[in-house]
Amino acid sequence: MSSILDRDTFNAFVRETHAELAGAATGPLCGLTFGAKDIYDVEGHGCTFGSPTWLATHAPAKHTAVAVRQLVAAGATLVGKTQTAELTYSLNGENIHYGSVLNPNAPGRDTGGSSSGSAAATAAGLVDFALGSDTGGSVRLPASFCGLYGMRPSHGRVSLEGACPLGPSFDTAGWFARDAAVFEKVGRVLLGDDAPAAVPGRLLLAADAFERAGGTVGDALQGAVAKVESVLGKAESVSVATEGLDDWGMNVFRVIQAHEAWQSLGAWITEHQPQLGPGVKERFAWASTVDRGMLLAAASKREEIARRMERLLAGNAVLVLPTSPGIAPRIGAPSAEIDDFRARALAILSIAGLARLPQVSLPMATLDGCPLGVSLVAARGNDTMLLALARKLAP
């Protein structure tokens, strides 16, 4: 058994599909170690996808996922595969089959999901960085909860070939790091982009996102916003969603994601009848009921949202907003509390997903002694601009 598994006291790594790959002898990531969320294929190994039934019904991979190959070719060494929420259809780090992933920087509290193991492994210092995925917030929320840099790239910018799908029009390959310079280096490799970053334009503050997060979160993020303003100038307050962010999260994002999740996994669920955990079971049950009328209405609204965000972020504008409506909930919190937190989180997290935009969460604040992230969003394709800003804003 690998020493990384022996040293893992946070349940960050998967035992059942453990895989290692030595990094190339040279490259920009030479000497760094990483974990990969157990949705990414590694040749000769299975994937749990957070489900023992998935592992039992799928053969070992014939090829290694493109993103993993890119990182290894750049010199990084894969030391193991990391835990994920069940079928990645969750924003918390509890898995009925594989247990809770523990938060190194907020003991007794959730890591966030679904990239729970990747976040915990990075926060604990078990790896230098980790590969996750973000559909509805599965990198951004754990980054906020665990005090990490986390990136959701522009949709389609990083290859997901060889990764298990949930909602393909939202799925992205994201990553975590503790160090801003490492964070940017990893991003440059995955994005395949070594061109100079764009120069940021005006700074916008998402007033409705701060309002949805609540005054306590807004107060905790004042210092972080002030630091961003010290680099980019005074923020202009804007309302992102005139019809309300809850409408974006629940009536647009949730509907399209559910339809795509059922298209991706419904046939497998129907055939194999896996034992789905709390929350995941109910979401898939609802996903099976989304009809064509609901989908078409949501899809039309999504394109309106994308056009609005394109106009808002023109000229290399940067939007600052809370990553999360609060600090990590306690492990084992009542399901009603978790469902309420999820709805409030999706209202904020859906902005970038619906408009296919890049977003970075930066570890620039705390609340009640726990990490709390602030986020920057930019126009589609301005990923490296955000990475450069993350490095400039680092302590």
pLDDT tens, residue by residue, 194-226? 999 999 999 999 999 999 999 999 999 999 999
**Distance between CA atoms of residues 30 and 117, nearest Å:** 23
State the pLDDT at residue 358. 99
State the pLDDT at residue 347. 97
Annotation marks residue 361 as catalytic: no
Q: What's the pLDDT tens digit per position in 20-62?
A: 999 999 999 999 999 999 999 999 999 999 999 999 999 999 9
Annotation marks residue 154 as catalytic: no
Q: Are strands 236-238 and 203-206 parallel, antiparallel or unpaired?
A: parallel
State the pLDDT at residue 50. 98
Coil, helix or strand at residue 174: strand
Tell me the average pLDDT across 280-288. Answer: 98
| Catalytic choice (100, 116, 138, 361) | 138
**Mean pLDDT, the chain, as a whole number?**
97
**Distance between CA atoms of residues 275 and 359, nearest Å:** 34
* Letter string b/e over residues 356-375, b meaning 16 or more CB atoms within 10 A of that residue's CB: bbbbbbbbbbeeeebbbbbb
Q: What percent of the chain has pLDDT over 70?
A: 99
State the pLDDT at residue 74. 98
| Catalytic choice (114, 144, 154, 264) | 114
Q: What's the pLDDT tens digit per position in 163-178?
A: 999 999 999 999 999 9
State the pLDDT at residue 1. 45
| Catalytic choice (37, 81, 185, 301) | 37
State the pLDDT at residue 3. 83
User: CA-based diameter of the chain, in Å?
Assistant: 56
Residue 2 pLDDT exceeds 70: no
Give the Cβ contact number of residue 281 at 10 Å: 16
Annotation marks residue 114 as catalytic: yes
Q: Which residue, among 274, 269, 200, has the nearest Cα to 233 in the 3D structure?
A: 200
Structural domain boundaries in the chain? 3-191, 203-242+302-331+344-393
Q: How many residues does the chain have?
A: 395
Q: What's the pLDDT tens digit per position in 110-154?
A: 999 999 999 999 999 999 999 999 999 999 999 999 999 999 999
User: In CATH, what class is 3-191?
Assistant: alpha beta
In angstroms, the Cα distances linking 323 to 15, 18, 50, 168 are 31, 31, 24, 22
Q: What percent of the chain has pLDDT over 90?
A: 98
Query: Which residues, other chains included, contact 317 with Cβ-Cβ below 8 Å and sequence gap of 6+?
Result: 200, 201, 202, 203, 204, 378, 379
Helix (H) / strand (E) element for 236: namely strand 236-238
Residue pair 309/194 in contact (Cβ under 8 Å)? The answer is no
